[in-house]
Every structure is written in C-alpha cells, then in structure tokens.
Chains A and B, each alone.
Chain A
Amino acid sequence: MKPEKAGSRLINGDNWIAFSFILPSLLVFAVFMFYPLFYTAYLSFFDWNMIKPVKVFVGWGNYLVLFQDPLTYTVLKNTAAYIAILLLLNCAAPYALAFILSFVIERGLGFYKSAFFLPSVISLVVGSILYLWILNPISGPVALIAKFFGITVPVWSKTQGLVIVVLSLITTWKVFGYNFIVIFGGVAGVPREVIEAARIDNVPLHRIFFDIVLPMSSATGVYILIMTVVQGLQYVFTPIKVITQGGPDNASSNAIYNVYQEAFTLYRTGYASAFAIVAMVLFVILLVLEFRYVEKGVYYEN
C-alpha cells in the first residue's frame, strides 16, 4: 500500500497550494537544470567548439559518429564496470558491515560507527592525491610492504581493468562511511525480537541476513542502491581527473569523464553534448527499470 495515495485522499483540490510548495524548487531547477538540459540537447545537433561565431547544423551527425565510434562502447563498458564494482563495495559491503554491527557483535558499536563514518567528510581531491602517493606501485608504502613479502605491485594506473578497480577503491574510501551509516539506520530498524527469535531457532547468520534483514530494510537499500550508481559515477570523476585523465588508452574513462574530456579538453562541444544526452537517456532507463522492478518489492513500514 502506498502511503502517498492515502495522503492524497485527505487533501484534494488544492492544486495551487501544492504548487506553491513545490515552486521554489521548480524555479531553481528551471534555470539551472532544465534550461541547461534543453540547451545541451540543442547543441548536440551542431558542430561547435563553444567560441566559434557560427554553429554548424549537422542534424543527427554527432549521434551517428558517436554510435560508430568504438570509443563510445569502451566508455560504456567501463561505466558498467564502475557501476558493478561500486555496487559491490558501496552497497553490498556496507550492508554486510551494518548487519555485523547491529546483530553480531555487542562491543564497540559507537566507536566503530564514528570511525567508519570519518573518511566520508574528506574531499576526494585530497583522497586522490593521498592515494596516488600511498599506492605508488614502485615506491609507495604499500609497494614497499608488498616488496618485503616478495610481491610486486602491478603498475595499476597503466593496467587495463585494474585501473578501474583501484579508482573505485579510492572512491569507496570516501563514499563507504556515509552509505554505511544510512544502511545501518535501516538495518537497525529491524525489530530485535525477530532476530533474537531466529537465533534461538539456530537459523544461520546468512539466512537471517537474506530472509529477514534484507527484505525488512529494503527501502533504505533501494535508496543506497540508486545513490551508489548515481553519485558513485560522479564521485569517480575526481580520481580519474587527478590520477589518470581517462588513460591508459581510455581504459579508465567513464561516461561522465568522457563528456568532460570531449567538451573541455578537445572542445568538441556538439559531440560532447550528444554524448551527454545519450548517457542521460541510459541513466534514465536505469531509473525506470529500478522504479518498475525494484521498488515494487520494497517494504514500507506502515
């Protein structure tokens, strides 16, 4: 049952009041979101570099080039890889951690919560510079320790695939704490008695997690799921820009970085706009799918 439907039965016919509540947001969105979006969509039909006096109309030209360029598919594939890794590290992992903290251990809860949250207040620019130094495969502390054990650290910033994993890890360092705390809120909301009862019945931990905790905290879970995909990809932008600039050979570029690269390094404004629009459409499809299939099964408390 959807609570908002219930609400709507209560208050009806006050359209103008409703709008006055939403209006402040709408105004800001109109100027700084919808107008730029339309403008970008408009630009995607032109060949332009932002400063040439003449914009050359090319129709669907940019889109045609885009779909024929193998780079587009590399970038989309990378984007999917980032999403998968980020979901694992920033959605699944904090979920498991929240579960352990709420129901498995009893000591040090307060300390753990604060400590895990701590890095999430720190800027990713700072994090990227730090990690570039710490993870230097030749002479960083991690490499030196590995060397002591006879392990050679691969040059991750120049290794296909691995570079995406490491950049995701750096992003995780920043995002994990916040996601963890929010999920913890959801997980801790599962009534203790239910868990205790299950434990008395000797239900194994992983069953408790999947059969009880996960479904009962699914609303929070869905929120973090969306946020991981959306914000994760935007966050990854910073380490990409600071550390690899999309390299090696575009192996670490994602949809968001590629738009930036095309627009602000190569100055192909029209093409970048087309790419941005395609990326957006893909994201919106993701969102629709999410609304369709995931939210259906979500458990709301009342």
Chain B
Amino acid sequence: MRIEPELKWHILLGCILFLSLMPIVFAVSSSFKELSEAYSNVFGLIPEQPTFNNYLQVFSRLPLVQITANTFLIAAAVTLFKTLTGVLAAYGFVYFDFRGKNILYFILISTIFVPFTVTMIPNYLTVSQLGFRNTVIGVILPQLADATGIFLLRQAMRTIPRSLIEAARIDQAGHLHILGGIVLPLIKPAVVSTGIMFFINSWNEYVWPVLILKDKENYTLPLALQLFISSEGGTDFTIAMAVSVMTMLIPLLLFLIFQRYIISTFTSSGIK
C-alpha cells in the first residue's frame, strides 16, 4: 500500500493523540515550576527556572512511601479478590443449570447499575460496625461487590467451544480441573484485562476512601492530592501537579513495562 492515502489518517490520529497526551505533559511540566511561573509562563513546557521544590514539599509533608504502599495494597487485594470470585461465579453461571439461574444472574448484573451513592450510607454503617473505619480493609470491602467481573468473564467463557468441556466431562474430570486446566488458560487474556481494569479503578478510587480514611498514614494517593486543594485557601497548583504526577506514576510505569502484554491481551480479549 502506498503511503499517501494513509497520511491523512495519520494526521487525524496525531491530532487526537496530541489532545489526549497534552494534559499529561502539561502536568509534568507544571510540577517543576514555581507557582508564579505556572501562572505567568503557561505555554513554556520546559520551565525557565526548573525546581524540585514542589516534590520536596510533598515529601516533607507526607509519608509518601506509606501512602503509595496503601494504595498499592488496596488495589492489589481488590483485584485479586474480585478476579477470583468473578471467575468462580462466571463458571457457575456458564456451566451449570439450576432453577432461578437466569434471574439470579440478572439480579447480580443489574447491580452494575446501582449508583454508588445509593449504597454509601448503609455501607459506611456496616464498615463502622465491623470496626474497619480508618483501615484499608474498610476501603476494600465494599469495592468487592462489583458484578462487572462476573459479566466480563462469563462473556469470555461463553466463547469456549462446548466440545472441549463435553470431552472433559466424559473423562470424568472434576470441576476444579476443568476450570483450572481448560477454561482458565483459554480465557487468560480476558482474566488479565479484567484484572488490569480492576487495578486501575481501585488505584484511582476517591469518594469512598475519603469517607473511610482519616489519618494521613492510611491515606491513598488520590486523597493526598486533596490536601493541596482547598476552595477557601486556594489551590497550590504546582504542588497539586507534583502529587498528580506521583499518582499517575505507578499505573503509567506498570503500563509501560507490561504494555506489550497488556495490549495484546486486550486485543485478544474481544468478546466474540
């Protein structure tokens, strides 16, 4: 194929890319500026007087290692648990037939539509009664009731040719065997991509942790950001950007390191 007809598409794609990546560049650049320069030199992508001051301030004000560890721990636990229970439930829904199955599935899936504001108050009471306020567990627990995993993984399992399962059943294979030996390897891309989505979402979770976590030592990164934004005292934009950059850093790094793998699993995760 000649290059010429492709070029117009590349220009279009380039423009979209510019728009979507510019804010990230802007954030990084602002985080190395003094506040007054951020105001006066909006377009200068490379600061005239680069400074680490914003980062130093953040480090001196916050237990950042602890905060990052909390965020990671929460995201990892949520991802693991949700993926595991999702796989099990999806298996139950795809390969069994029992009375009320479709209704049960429908009810579970309907909960995807429940706005989190609906469950917020009762969940706060529950978490408090269990004594998990101001703990990472309190942040994790309500996040686990999420049916997207069941939905996604069920869709993936439905693509597995039934002859495979039939054969295994004829060989008297147990369910855990079938799940671990046949189903899981075949839907691995879907499992991984679901897991990545869980991780990212949980990493960036904001409204619920704000309600639950009180001490700085227990904070997650998105909460740390909130410390530098105040409507009444004004936002310290450059410090906020420094925290933002740190909030993005780990997901971005994870993505850049595993990008080949992530992209290829997503590409093969398409529900067919």
Interface size class of B (residues with CB under 8 A): 35 or more
Contact with B along A131-156 (1 / 0, CB 8 A): 10110000111001000000000000
Q: Flag whether A200 is at the interface (Cβ < 8 A).
A: no
Docked CA distance A3–B164 (Å): 12
Q: Flag whether A197 is at the interface (Cβ < 8 A).
A: no
Secondary structure call for the B interface: helix
Contacting residue for B85 out of A28, A112, A277, CB 8 A = A28
Docked CA distance A35–B145 (Å): 11
- Known contacts: A29-B111, A301-B159. The answer to whether A36 contacts B123 by CB under 8 A is yes
Residues A185 and B122 in contact, CB atoms below 8 Å apart = no
Docked CA distance A79–B161 (Å): 40
Q: How far is the CB of B108 from chain A (nearest CB, A)?
A: 7
Residues of B within 8 A of A114 (CB): 255, 259, 263
Residues of A within 8 A of B247 (CB): 122-123, 126
Contacting residue for A122 out of B24, B43, B97, CB 8 A = B24
Contacting residue for A141 out of B24, B42, B244, CB 8 A = B42
Q: Name A264-283 residues within 8 Å CB distance of B.
A: 269, 272-273, 276-277, 279-280, 283
Q: How far is the CB of B78 from chain A (nearest CB, A)?
A: 11
Residues of B within 8 A of A212 (CB): none
Q: Flag whether B186 is at the interface (Cβ < 8 A).
A: no
Q: How far is the CB of B24 from chain A (nearest CB, A)?
A: 7
Chain A's closest residue to B223 (CB) is A125
Q: Flag whether B77 is at the interface (Cβ < 8 A).
A: no
Docked CA distance A120–B3 (Å): 30
Contact with A along B31-56 (1 / 0, CB 8 A): 00000000000110000000000000
Q: Name B1-52 residues within 8 Å CB distance of A.
A: 1, 3, 6, 9-10, 13, 16-17, 20-24, 26-27, 42-43
Residues of B within 8 A of A131 (CB): 23
Residue picked from A3, A241, A255, A283, most chain B C-beta under 10 Å:
A3
Contacting residue for B162 out of A10, A39, A279, CB 8 A = A10
Contact with A along B85-115 (1 / 0, CB 8 A): 1101101111111110100101011111111
Q: Flag whether A58 is at the interface (Cβ < 8 A).
A: no
Residues A276 and B117 in contact, CB atoms below 8 Å apart = yes
Residues B43 and A118 in contact, CB atoms below 8 Å apart = no
Q: Flag whether B222 is at the interface (Cβ < 8 A).
A: yes
- Known contacts: A4-B94, A276-B115. The answer to whether A223 contacts B26 by CB under 8 A is no
Q: How far is the CB of B254 from chain A (nearest CB, A)?
A: 8
Contacting residue for A284 out of B113, B169, B200, CB 8 A = B113
Residues B92 and A19 in contact, CB atoms below 8 Å apart = yes
Residues of B within 8 A of A273 (CB): 118
Docked CA distance A130–B240 (Å): 10
Q: Name A36-54 residues within 8 Å CB distance of B.
A: 36-37, 39-40, 43, 50
Chain A residues packing against B (C-beta within 8 Å):
2-4, 6-12, 14-15, 17-22, 24-26, 28-29, 31-33, 35-37, 39-40, 43, 50, 97, 100-101, 104-108, 110, 112-127, 129-131, 133-134, 139-141, 144, 173, 176-178, 181-189, 217, 219-220, 223, 226-227, 230, 233-234, 237-238, 241, 255-256, 259-260, 263, 269, 272-273, 276-277, 279-280, 283-284, 286-287, 291, 300-302
Q: Sorted from nearest, which 9 A-B pairs have the closest CB atoms? A: A21-B92, A185-B270, A8-B97, A18-B96, A186-B270, A36-B122, A283-B113, A121-B251, A123-B204
Chain B residues packing against A (C-beta within 8 Å):
1, 3, 6, 9-10, 13, 16-17, 20-24, 26-27, 42-43, 84-86, 88-89, 91-99, 101, 104, 106, 108-123, 126, 141-142, 144-145, 147-148, 150-152, 155, 158-162, 165-166, 169, 175, 193, 197, 200, 203-204, 206-207, 221-222, 225-226, 229, 235, 237, 240-241, 244, 247-248, 251-252, 254-255, 259, 262-263, 266-272
